[in-house]
Structures are given as structure tokens and as C-alpha cells.
Amino acid sequence: MAWISATYLLAAREDEVQKRAESLALEQSVEMPLEAVRDPKIRDTIVARVAGIEPFDAHRFRVTLQLATATTGEDVTQLTNMLFGNCSLQDDVELDGVEFPASLLERFGGPRYGIAGLRELVGAAKRPLTCTALKPQGSSPETLAALCETFGNAGIDVIKDDHGIADQSYAPFAQRARACQAAAERASAATGKPVIYAPSLVGSPRKIFENARLARECGIRAVLLAPMLVGLGTFAEFVAEFGEFVVLAHPALGGASRISPAWLFGKFFRLLGADATIYPNYGGRFAYSPDVCRALAGAAREPWGSIRPAMPVPAGGMSVERVPEMIEFYGQDVMLLIGGSLLSAGDHLAERSRSFVRAVGGGV
């Protein structure tokens, strides 16, 4: 019988932590008092177990629970429900990390491309990759496409929509995706270097799938999806059905402060098939520390059974000037995402974009 090992940080007094951990185990499995569970088979094979309690900091313990794999039905949504459904509502609990049995790793499968596939697609074997965003929203498809071509001509590897660009009246998905992909193809032809355009897919499942089929028809090879926003199950279903797309995961709505960012964005999004995972870099306009960023990049890249590594993509208030520091910090297996700071260059956009490309050792 397979068990999932989930670790939580639990705020509790030392003389109460055992009891609190046991009630957490009930909450995340049968959700009723143990004495009311009358079937001994359910007690043995379904009720979650406290597998370890150790001190963590002044007021918290690290508690490891074993959750029965059978309760997940091998479904991503239900897995999330068992890991953090009800206890997300209890503010003394944080989800710290999870170890999955091999059967679940195989079931979910992780990235189809990962770091190696992404590198092959953009034609860059070793150097850090570059990424930028088309914005601001409110721009017309033509404006966004012109911007895409400028970035592509400068040699940037991946050009994604801003995550706020969806399917709005001022830039409907079909027109925008077609125009930007054509611009990326022109830039590829002009520079002799692959330029990848990744449109943002936002909406209900039906809209996401419809727009993905449109993207497929345009020859688009990568997309941007925010798993917490569109739903983890929708994300997983997308990955399973659209094998031709490299998938960039966006962290929007992922700031439930009580799920470890390293685990959620690094490990879990990777498990569900993110080829690259975007997250707030330290020193930008978000509050992540260097330690959190290091752990997150590690979670995305480190060996993990049969699961391919995913590309870490630090972002948020980054600048071309910080590129050397980022490479020093992250090494070569990273895709740096700089958006607003390039666009602030105004008439010098092409020049600053080329500086970005040169800073990672690229160039066209």
C-alpha cells in the first residue's frame, strides 16, 4: 500500500503538538473523530498517520503525515484536496513539502520538454536563456506584434504575453496570437535564430482549450498558464492533451502564503508538467528572499526520479544590470525574464533588448 508523505509546519505548544498533529491527520483524511470510524480496514488503510514530529523554530514543529495514496484517486485536484483542502482554512498550518510514491510520479509524469527540450527549441545548449513580456494590456494586436518583432530581432529567446493579457475586446486572442506568432516567425527568418512566442491562456476550461487549438493552428510552440488561477486540474488536463506545447507556468493567485513557494512553484508545478516555472525573484518588487529563490530553483532542477527538470524563470522587477548577479546566483540553467525594465527604454527598446541578449552570452 502506497503512502504520500506530506510535511507541515504546525504552530503548537510542545505539550499539545502530538494531539494537534493527530487531529490534522484526521482532517486531511476521514474528517471525523477516529472513534466514529467503525470499519477497521478504513482505520488501517485510509486514515492518515502521524509519521514524525520535530522542532522547527521557536513556536512551530515540522509534522510529517502519511496520507493514503488511494484517497487521491490518482487525480490532481483530489490530491490537492487531500494535501491542503481543509487545513488551508486553519491558520496554524503551513504545507511545507511532499514526497510522492513512485506510482504517483509516473502517473503525473512532469515536464514533457523541461530544460533540455526548451533549450533545443530555442537553439541554445548552455547559456542562460532570455525571456520578456509583451505589454501593456490595452495595446492592439498590431502594437503587440510590432513589439514581439523588435524583441525577436534583438535575439530574445522566449517572448510571452503579459499574464494580464487574456481575451479582451482590445486584443482578442485569435488576432493577437496570429499576429504575434507571425512577427516571431519574421524575426526568426531575419536572424536565423528560433524565436518562441508564448501566448497567455486565461479563462474557463472551454476557452483555454479553444484558444489552445487556435494556437496550434498558428504553429505556436509554447504557452503561458497560471495553474492556481485556471485550476490545477485544468492545468494537468491541458498538459495531457496538448503535447506539442512547451508550458510556462505563471504564479498568479499562488500567494496563499501558507504553501511553501519552493514546493508549490518549484516542485508541484513541475510534477504537473510545467517545462518552465516563473516566480518572483529576490530583490524585485516581491518579498521572496534569496534562500527561497535558491530552494525554488533547486526544486525545479534537481534530480527527481523519472521527472524531467523544469527551467526556473526568476522575474519581477529585474533589470539588464542585474543579469551578471543572476547568472552568478542561478548558474546557466535559468531563463531570465525581464519585462517592464526593457519597455522603460522607450525609443531605445531594441538596443536595451540586445544588451539583455548579450549579457547572457547570446546574440544574433
Site for its own copies in 117-156 (CB under 8 A): 133, 135-139, 143
DSSP structure class, residue 68: E
Q: Residues binding its own copies: what is the number (CB under 8 A)?
A: 85
Q: How is 10-30 classified by DSSP, letter by letter?
A: EE--TTTHHHHHHHHHHHTTT
Pattern 311-330, binding to its own copies, x per CB under 8 A? Answer: --------------------
Among 84, 197, 245, 268, interactor with its own copies by CB under 8 A = 84
Q: How is 147-169 classified by DSSP, letter by letter?
A: HHHHHHHHT-SEEEE-TT--S-T
Q: How is 259-295 classified by DSSP, letter by letter?
A: B-HIIIIIIIHHHTT-SEEEEEPTTSSS---HHHHHH
Least gap, CB of 72 to its own copies (angstroms): 8
- CA 278 – CA 267 distance, rounded (Å): 12
Among 76, 276, 307, 357, interactor with its own copies by CB under 8 A = 76
Least gap, CB of 53 to its own copies (angstroms): 19
Residue 270 Cα to chain centre, angstroms? 7
Residues in the chain: 364
- In the bound state with its own copies, the residue whose beta carbon lies nearer, of 111 and 254, is 254
**Closest listed residue to residue 143, CA positions, set 125, 126, 157, 162:** 162
Cα end-to-end distance, the chain, whole Å: 55
Q: Compute CA distances 186 → 20, 146, 151, 222, whole Å.
A: 61, 11, 11, 17
Among 64, 234, 260, 281, interactor with its own copies by CB under 8 A = 234
Least gap, CB of 248 to its own copies (angstroms): 15
Say whether residue 355 binds its own copies (CB under 8 A): no
- CA 104 – CA 77 distance, rounded (Å): 13
Residues 43-72 touching its own copies, rule: CB under 8 A, are 45-47, 70-72
The residue type at 317: G
- In the bound state with its own copies, the residue whose beta carbon lies nearer, of 52 and 168, is 168
- In the bound state with its own copies, the residue whose beta carbon lies nearer, of 86 and 120, is 86
Say whether residue 2 binds its own copies (CB under 8 A): no
- In the bound state with its own copies, the residue whose beta carbon lies nearer, of 124 and 320, is 320
All cell numbers assigned to 104 = 504517483
All cell numbers assigned to 263 = 514546493
Least gap, CB of 221 to its own copies (angstroms): 23
Least gap, CB of 277 to its own copies (angstroms): 13
Residues 267-286 touching its own copies, rule: CB under 8 A, are 280, 285-286
- In the bound state with its own copies, the residue whose beta carbon lies nearer, of 84 and 118, is 84
Let me know: does 281 contact 335? Beta carbons within 8 Å: no
- In the bound state with its own copies, the residue whose beta carbon lies nearer, of 128 and 254, is 254
Residues 85-114 touching its own copies, rule: CB under 8 A, are 85-92
Grouping H, G, I as helix, E, B as strand and the rest as coil, residue 304 is coil
- In the bound state with its own copies, the residue whose beta carbon lies nearer, of 189 and 287, is 287
Residues 165-194 touching its own copies, rule: CB under 8 A, are 166-170
Residues 6-25 touching its own copies, rule: CB under 8 A, are 23
Grouping H, G, I as helix, E, B as strand and the rest as coil, residue 177 is helix
Residues 240-269 touching its own copies, rule: CB under 8 A, are 251-258
